[in-house]
Amino acid sequence: MEKTIITELNAKTISVLKKVLQLQEENREQIREFYKKEIVAFSILGIPINKVDYKEELKNAKLEIINGNIVSQEELECESRSW
């Protein structure tokens, strides 16, 4: 009889612990999703940019620099004189 009670208690304890772990993992996922959507910057037009999009913008900017798609300060100054 004692072994049956202990076995039942162990089974219930394991079940409760599994549920707690499941809830913790769901909570972690919700936190991850929140931070992915968190606004970390604004465009020059004032549009909010989230973390995922910001990282993508940085990646694209690095590629443009690597590919030589840049404008020097002197070029920009010359161009801006005609504005």
Q: Is 15's pLDDT higher than 90?
A: no
pTM of the model as a whole: 0.50
Average pLDDT over residues 28-39: 83
Instruction: Give buried/exposed letters for 24-47 (b at 16+ CB in 10 A, else e).
Output: eeeeeeeeeeeeeeeeeeeeeeee
Q: Is 68's pLDDT higher than 70?
A: yes
